[in-house]
Amino acid sequence: MAKQKKYYYECVYPCDVPWYGPDQRRERWVQKGKMLVQPPRVLHSVRCFPSRGYNARGEKLLGDYIATNRPIGKAFTEEVTKSVSRVDWNARLRDGGSPRKMVEKSSKVKFVLLEPDEVTDAVRRIAYDFEDDWGAALFNDADTDVVLPAEAAEMARQGARELNVKEK
């Protein structure tokens, strides 16, 4: 069987990375006869940090690394800009209600792909490697704008008409 390619990423900004694993919390285990059975897999998170300083010899301390079988999503490796809905506080104070507005939001780069020659034994040894158990959110590109359901969009348009707000 051919060896599967691994992608190694170095953390450059603190973040939580989702992964699926066995549930360790007993209160969520299921009673089957006289036994308690673990649910198959639940979503956990691993908190990753970049390198934090140097050791006593002046060598840079290693940060956190992850290893995956497929490339991770654009939301983790590139700066992504999207529109999100936020409360317009100026209009809220003036009009009393809670009108909303769309605001541009950009994410930070959290992981950088390592070149094959940068992957050392030390990196392989300390990298988080859960094989295919990473959460789907890690691989999906979260770069689309927020789209309201049809009913909510119609209610927003109606509210905008009542307040004489012009659509863009």
pLDDT for 145 equals: 65
Structural domain range at position 35: 7-84+107-145
What are 61-104's pLDDT values in tens digits?
Answer: 888 999 988 888 888 899 988 898 888 877 766 666 678 888 89
Using H for helix, E for strand and C for coil, what is the string for 124-139? Answer: HHHCECCCCCECHHHH
Domain contains 50: yes
What are 140-158's pLDDT values in tens digits?
Answer: 666 566 677 788 788 878 8
Domain contains 93: no
What is the phi-psi region of residue 58: left when phi exceeds 0, alpha when psi lies from -120 to 50, beta otherwise?
left
Residue 110 has pLDDT above 90, yes or no: yes
pTM: 0.66
Residue 1 has pLDDT above 60, yes or no: no
Q: Which of 141, 150, 122 minimizes the C-alpha distance to 10?
A: 122
What are 120-129's pLDDT values in tens digits?
Answer: 898 889 888 8
Domain contains 162: no
Domain contains 102: no
Enumerate the β-bridge partners of residue 146: none
Number of structural domains (the chain) is 1
Domain contains 97: no
Domain contains 78: yes
Domain contains 1: no
Domain contains 90: no
Structure tokens at 87: 């409360």
